[in-house]
Amino acid sequence: MLYIKCPYCGLRAQKEFSYGGDATVKRPNINEEVSSEDWDNFVYMRKSPRGKHIELWQHIAGCRQWIKVQRDTATHEIFQTAKVTEEIR
Amino acid sequence: MSQPFRLNKVGLINRNKKISFTFNGKKLFGYEGDTIASALIANGIHLVGRSFKYHRPRGFFGAGVEEPNAKLQVEFNGHSEPNVNATEMELVEGLSATSQNCWPSVNFDIGAINNFLKMFFPAGFYYKTFMWPKSFWYKIYEPFIRKAAGLGVASIEKDKERYEHKFEYCDLLVTGSGPSGLASAYAAAKNGAKVILAEDKPRFGGTLLTDDVSIDNLSGKDWAEKIITELKSMPNVTVKNRSQVFGYYDHNMLVMFERVGDHLEKKSKFTPRQRLWYIRAKETILSTGSIERPIVFGNNDTPGIFLSAAAKEYMKVYGVLVGKKPLIFTNNDSAYETALGFKKNNVEPIILDTREEHSSELIDEAKSKGIDIRFSHGVIVANGYKKVKSAKIGKLNKDKNSFEKIETVDCDCICVSGFWTPSVHLASQSGNKLKYEEKIDAFIPDKKKQHETSVGAANGSFTLEESLKHAFENGSNLSAKITETKTEISIPNVNEKKYGAHDKFWCMPLPKNENPKRFVDFQNDVSVSDIEIALREGYRSIEHVKRYTTLGMATDQGRTSNLNGLQLVSNIENKIVPEVGHTTFRPPFTPITIGTIVGREVGMEYMPTRKTPMHEWHEKNNAVFVDAGAWKRPRYYKQGNETLFEASKREAKNVRENVGICDVTTLGKIDIKGPDAAEFLNRVYTNAWMKLPVGKARYGLMLREDGIVMDDGTTTRISENHYHMTTTTAQAANVLSHLEYYLQIVWPELNVNVVSTTEQWAGAAIAGPKSRDMLSKLYPDLDVSNEALPFMGYKEAEFFGVPSRIFRISFSGELAYEINVKSDHGLFMWEKMMEVGKEFGNQPYGTEALSTLRIEMGHVAGPELDGRTIPSDVSLNGLVSKKKDFIGKNSLGREAFNVESRQKIVGLIPIDRKSSIPEGSHIVQDQNAKLPNPKLGHVSSSCWSVENNNPFSLAIMKDGKNMIGKKFFAVSPLKNKSIEVEVISSHYVDPEGKRVRS
Ligand SMILES: [Zn+2]
């Protein structure tokens, strides 16, 4: 079970969090034209890297904040966690 | 009754307390401190079970977790458990154990015919035999395998025992209380670290209890006792016996299985039987020791053949002799201690040593005591079926591949030692890639992946002096990093025997024309020839050989067989062991009970029960409840002998004719505040929200980004910057996370806050043509006319002195209102409504009637919003704004969502107007068509229309809008029904929606 450092609450067990996918995906701006290709990429296309991955988790049974976690998908090593407003690396 | 193999005054058992038990129906006794195994051996019983594949007689082989054979069905405390390790289970009064995998009895087992047909059970037998024809699988192969597979019998009774989970955090977790574990724990404890020391056995000390050593002039056992006593007195140390750390997971999370009550004759009501510990350790010391491996020889599975260290443990810990005419068969010095132990107890052993004649401290001692030692010798084959009677032994030639002399000697037990294998399971589970250590012919931990440090024998260090030094240093250094305190400890003086080098010898050759089974893996009946066959058939990867032969795949995880198997493969392949590699170690290290994994989360404790403030009233009024997530909701209120069907029909009819009230507290409620709240809702919902006035509610539809409907509900503008959102009961949590996601990540510039208020409000719907009359009685001072409180209107008013919110919204399609009060007033509100509503014929109605009402109105709910439908599929495209952007809008233009024949919601009625259509039925053109019958749609919701007094269903159907008026069949293979149906509009009652506005 992962041990995730919530930037607001500190180290907490994985079961307090829920996973939210790739954190680097950016939603196209609202009220702006978007090509079908860009939209499809946003909705469906995700990389599935082996290694470092920046992802979203929500501290659902805690402060309810969405946070960024940089994790190795193969070893589960967590290199860094941050608030969503902060940059990783 | 005497115990013929029990020694006097030797051992650590409590001879003042006799314990009686039964084995295969026979009454026996042992002592407190015995295991089932030690008590049976003391009584001279060795035959305990039959082997898995060939049903060969099997006895005890080890004295702890390494035991491959002695798995028993054990009954105690009123429950029956299979596959209990007899070498680990402590004896308790009244326990009853029986042999497994034998019928009719362990002494006469019909399955043993497999042993004589063994040429038909080679490696890969199952794969080769049960391949085809396919039709044989269900009727012949599967029942055969099921009958033959498995050992014990799982109980079908409810487990009445209590199991617990515990979460713990520590600086240092030490797994194993042998000399290295004690030293590490002690050093860390002295540095002020929070330490947990876990020992699998009931007694602390590990090999210190059986080895002939001294530390600081104390015997090993006394030193262990001294350290444990001191550790127990320290407030920063938790010491646990009967506790097996069995899994090493990510981020230094370890799991431990504690046998809390299994050894207790009587335990208090709240004492759990077993406890699962989740331990998050900053550092872990793996002091798991090593397990002796055997040397492979013919019929080496005969009862009476033991690991030599197990024989020593039975002698020194339990005061039990495994035999009185022992053969000691070894390739190293450690078995000499077992031989000396026998000698000390006046039993004459013969030592067969595969090494050429040489000298060492132990060999010299054995010689000086006059023990018969035969160098360059080994056991070729054991004789005896249910117990060893004699052994054919041979003098090996120089190359050790044939014999110079063969003879037969009488014996009643064989104690075998093929050197030591470090227990690297936990290290491997932690991610440590192991390395092969040529010096000891075994794998040891290599570079660490997590915060784990192996010490002592687990790290391949087999001398006490070196182990203690290394363990003290590591315990001290690892803890000092955490506590920033370093207490100097002097490393104690050690007195131990020096061992000579072991012989790299692991399998006895066979004389010409002899072919007894030589087992590598006892528990899965894998012999040398099976591995040879696998390699001959082309299996190369050790992982494939393992699966094909099932080597090391049994519950003992190949603790005594893995390395011998690897050596065998390496020899045949002419490779060295590290090239062959090892198979993966996986948790659990030892089998643990399902009860422990489940813990307290059984029955009503499986998850929390959410009850509305009116729950008590519902209970008192014969409500039959249904689970809605964690919520309990009244399904119907039973009157007299009513069935569900009758009651829900009555309740729904009463709503259509008079008025009913329904507890809607469980609906998700989210409070939304902030100057940008309107803009936010406008983006979240598909319809327009910018112009909703204060004091008005609106029905809204939200999508996922892929265009699929996520949820629906009404949201009310309470004041300028304050909204009250409702969600379906099921989606409440998801919707909140969804809103938080957009506010925190996508549009942080919006000044909006959301919070769940589901539990803060109690809600009741009042529905039916007489609901306004009833409302006017509930609010005598309020103008509730259609003009003052129109459809989708909202008012705040006092409800008999209690602040309340009134929403004119409707799920039933009738004129209806929803009243919310603070949860604490929920029951008061409900009771008042029941009282005031009497004169209008008010009745409570449950979810079944609620469904009937919404279905016949064509209102969609969970079964239609099933994660596969877009707004137009469920006729909600009127709510999709063309003018503004919203979540998921871009996806609605996708080609597949806009094809002419796109699925759509329709209504169905049976042609006979009588047959109810099962939910989930498939709609097909031809009920007799060949399978797979093309599916045109499915029935999502069904009810008995109270308005029209016949069945009615909603269905999602391909090209639904062009199907109205056509006839099909709704077929349910599950219910074995096929009903002819006609497609009609999904709005069966009041299609113009006049009633809600009346
Ligand atoms: Zn948090």
CATH code of the domain in which B75 resides: 3.10.20.440
Read off the amino acid at residue A53: H
Q: What CA–CA distance (Å, rounded) separates B412 from B314?
A: 16
In a domain, A72, yes or no: yes
* Total tally of structural domains belonging to chain B: 7
Cα A41 to the center of its chain, rounded Å: 17
Q: What CA–CA distance (Å, rounded) separates B993 from B589?
A: 65
Closest-CA distance of chain B to residue A40, Å = 8
Tokens 């431990």 locate to B256
Q: What CA–CA distance (Å, rounded) separates B241 from B263?
A: 12
Contact of B740 with chain A, judged by CB distance below 8 Å, is answered with yes
| Residue B740 pLDDT | 98
What would the two tokens of residue B503 be? 């012989």
B233 close to B315: Cβ distance less than 8 angstroms: no
Q: In angstroms, what is the span from residue A5 Cα to ligand 1's centroid? A: 8
The average pLDDT across B683-701 equals 97
Candidate from B251, B706, B748 with C-beta closest to A3: B251
Residue B120 scores a pLDDT above 60: no
B879 close to B690: Cβ distance less than 8 angstroms: no
Q: In angstroms, what is the span from residue A80 Cα to ligand 1's centroid? A: 15
In a domain, B584, yes or no: no
The average pLDDT across B586-598 equals 92
Tokens 């002399």 locate to B405
| Residue B284 φ/ψ, nearest 5 degrees | -125, 130
In a domain, A62, yes or no: yes
B60 close to B69: Cβ distance less than 8 angstroms: yes
| Residue B105 pLDDT | 73
Assess whether B226 and B188 both reside in one domain. yes
Q: What is the span of the domain harbouring residue A50?
A: 3-25+39-83
The average pLDDT across B562-575 equals 89
Q: What CA–CA distance (Å, rounded) separates B773 from B567?
A: 89
Candidate from A1, A20, A66 with C-beta closest to B250: A1
Q: 3-state SS of B637-654?
A: ECCCCCCHHHHHHHHHHH
Neighbours of ion ligand 1 (CB under 5 A): A 6, 8-9, 59, 62-63
What would the two tokens of residue B304 be? 């009476």
Cα B769 to the center of its chain, rounded Å: 53
Assess whether B739 and B787 both reside in one domain. no
Contact of B889 with chain A, judged by CB distance below 8 Å, is answered with no
Candidate from A1, A20, A39 with C-beta closest to B249: A1
Mean pLDDT over each residue of chain B, to the nearest integer: 94
Q: What CA–CA distance (Å, rounded) separates B343 from B351?
A: 11
Q: Which residues pair with B954 in a beta bridge?
A: B907, B941
- Element of type H or E holding B843: strand B843-844
The average pLDDT across B32-53 equals 94
Assess whether B966 and B824 both reside in one domain. no
**Alpha-carbon Rg for chain A in angstroms:** 14
Nearest chain A residue to B168 by CA distance is A13
| Residue B574 pLDDT | 85
Candidate from B278, B746, B884 with C-beta closest to A27: B746
B490 close to B516: Cβ distance less than 8 angstroms: no
- Is B737–A18 a contact, with Cβ atoms under 8 angstroms apart? yes
A60-64, long-range: CB within 8 Å, 24+ apart, which pairs? A60/A16, A60/A17, A60/A18, A60/B737, A61/A15, A61/A16, A61/A17, A62/A6, A62/A8, A62/A9, A62/A12, A62/A16, A62/A17, A63/A6, A63/A8, A63/A9, A64/B740
In a domain, A32, yes or no: no
> pLDDT by residue (tens digit) across B963-987?
999 999 999 999 999 999 999 999 9
Chain B residues whose beta carbon lies within 8 Å of the beta carbon of residue A58:
737, 740-741
The average pLDDT across B435-443 equals 94
pLDDT band at B542 (very low <50, low <70, confident <90, very high): confident
Chosen for mutation from A11, A24, A31, A66 (greatest number of chain B CBs closer than 10 Å) is A66
CATH code of the domain in which A62 resides: 3.30.2270.10
Assess whether B347 and B485 both reside in one domain. no
> pLDDT by residue (tens digit) across B62-94?
999 999 999 999 998 888 898 899 999 999 999
Cα B861 to the center of its chain, rounded Å: 34
> pLDDT by residue (tens digit) across B174-228?
999 999 999 999 999 999 999 999 999 999 999 999 999 999 999 999 999 999 9
Question: Which one has a higher pLDDT value, B110 or B503?
Answer: B503
In a domain, A67, yes or no: yes
Chain B residues whose beta carbon lies within 8 Å of the beta carbon of residue A20:
741
Read off the amino acid at residue A75: T
B322 close to B413: Cβ distance less than 8 angstroms: yes
* End-to-end C-alpha distance for chain B, whole angstroms: 93
Helices (DSSP H) in B823-929: which residue ranges? 826-837, 847-857
Residue B146 scores a pLDDT above 60: no
DSSP per-residue codes, B802-841: EEEEEE---SSSSSEEEEEEEGGGHHHHHHHHHHHHGGGT
Closest-CA distance of chain A to residue B746, Å = 7
Strands B214-215 and B218-219 come out as antiparallel
Candidate from B280, B745, B747 with C-beta closest to A3: B280
Assess whether B740 and B881 both reside in one domain. yes
Assess whether B830 and B747 both reside in one domain. no
| Residue B121 pLDDT | 62
Q: How many CB atoms lie within 10 A of CB B831?
A: 12
Q: How many CB atoms lie within 10 A of CB B439?
A: 10
- Is B449–A75 a contact, with Cβ atoms under 8 angstroms apart? yes
Quote the DSSP letter at residue B138: I
Domain boundary pick from B71, B101, B125: B125
Residue B132 scores a pLDDT above 60: no
Q: In angstroms, what is the span from residue A3 Cα to ligand 1's centroid? A: 12
The average pLDDT across B395-405 equals 95
| Residue B585 pLDDT | 87
- Is A78–B251 a contact, with Cβ atoms under 8 angstroms apart? yes
What ipTM goes with this model?
0.98
In a domain, A61, yes or no: yes
Assess whether B350 and B429 both reside in one domain. no
Q: What CA–CA distance (Å, rounded) separates A12 from A62?
A: 9
Q: What is the span of the domain harbouring residue B549?
A: 511-573
* CB-based contacts of B12, cutoff 8 Å, min separation 6: B33, B203, B209, B317, B318
> pLDDT by residue (tens digit) across B731-764?
999 999 999 999 999 999 999 999 999 999 999 9
Q: In angstroms, what is the span from residue B93 Cα to ligand 1's centroid? A: 51
pLDDT band at B142 (very low <50, low <70, confident <90, very high): low
pLDDT band at B116 (very low <50, low <70, confident <90, very high): low
Q: Which residues pair with B29 in a beta bridge?
A: B20
Closest-CA distance of chain B to residue A60, Å = 8
| Residue B106 pLDDT | 72
Q: How many CB pairs under 8 A join A and B?
A: 53
> pLDDT by residue (tens digit) across B785-811?
999 999 999 999 999 999 999 999 998
Strands B794-799 and B722-727 come out as unpaired
Identify residues of A whose CB sits under 8 angstroms from chain B CBs.
1-3, 13, 18, 20, 27-28, 30-31, 34, 36, 39, 42-44, 56, 58, 60, 64-66, 75-76, 78, 84-85
Whether residue B492 has a cis bond before it, omega within 30° of 0: no
CATH code of the domain in which B413 resides: 3.50.50.60
Q: In angstroms, what is the span from residue B734 Cα to ligand 1's centroid? A: 18
> pLDDT by residue (tens digit) across B808-818?
999 899 999 99
Within chain A, which residues score under 50 in pLDDT? none
B50 close to B102: Cβ distance less than 8 angstroms: yes
* Total tally of structural domains belonging to chain A: 1
Alpha-carbon torsion (B123, B124, B125, B126), positive or negative: positive
Helices (DSSP H) in B319-370: which residue ranges? 334-344, 361-368
- Is B890–A34 a contact, with Cβ atoms under 8 angstroms apart? yes
- Is A58–B741 a contact, with Cβ atoms under 8 angstroms apart? yes
Residue B676 scores a pLDDT above 70: yes
> pLDDT by residue (tens digit) across B243-282?
999 999 999 999 999 999 999 988 888 999 999 999 999 9
Identify the CA nearest to B715 among candidates B659, B745, B754: B754
Assess whether B818 and B850 both reside in one domain. yes
In a domain, A33, yes or no: no
Q: What CA–CA distance (Å, rounded) separates B257 from B260?
A: 9
Domain boundary pick from B556, B573, B590: B573
Assess whether B820 and B911 both reside in one domain. no
Assess whether B184 and B325 both reside in one domain. no
Asked which of B155-159, B567-571, B621-625 is least confident by mean pLDDT, the reply is B155-159
| Residue B931 pLDDT | 87
A48 close to A25: Cβ distance less than 8 angstroms: no
Phi-psi region of B16 (alpha: psi -120 to 50; beta: other; left: phi over 0): alpha
CA distances from B582 to A8, B407, B462, B569 (A): 43, 37, 22, 11
Closest-CA distance of chain B to residue A53, Å = 17
Closest-CA distance of chain A to residue B945, Å = 41
Residue B127 scores a pLDDT above 90: no
* The dihedral formed by the CA atoms of B365, B369, B372 and B373, expressed in degrees to the nearest 10: 10
Closest-CA distance of chain B to residue A79, Å = 12
In a domain, A30, yes or no: no
* CB-based contacts of B726, cutoff 8 Å, min separation 6: B667, B668, B669, B670, B713, B714, B715
Quote the DSSP letter at residue B194: -
In a domain, B592, yes or no: no
| Residue B155 pLDDT | 82
Q: What CA–CA distance (Å, rounded) separates B626 from B607?
A: 15
Closest-CA distance of chain A to residue B280, Å = 9
Specify the length of chain B in residues.
998
Domain boundary pick from B548, B573, B598: B573
Specify the length of chain A in residues.
89
| Residue B648 pLDDT | 97
Nearest chain A residue to B279 by CA distance is A1
In a domain, B158, yes or no: no
Q: In angstroms, what is the span from residue A6 Cα to ligand 1's centroid? A: 5
Q: In angstroms, what is the span from residue A62 Cα to ligand 1's centroid? A: 5
Nearest chain B residue to A60 by CA distance is B737
Closest-CA distance of chain A to residue B248, Å = 10
* B269 three-state secondary structure: coil
Assess whether B365 and B326 both reside in one domain. yes
Assess whether B469 and B383 both reside in one domain. no
Q: 3-state SS of B1-31?
A: CCCCCECCCCCCCEEEEEEEEEECCEEEEEE
| Residue B318 pLDDT | 98
Q: What CA–CA distance (Å, rounded) separates B944 from B645?
A: 9
Residue B519 scores a pLDDT above 90: yes
Strands B26-32 and B14-23 come out as antiparallel
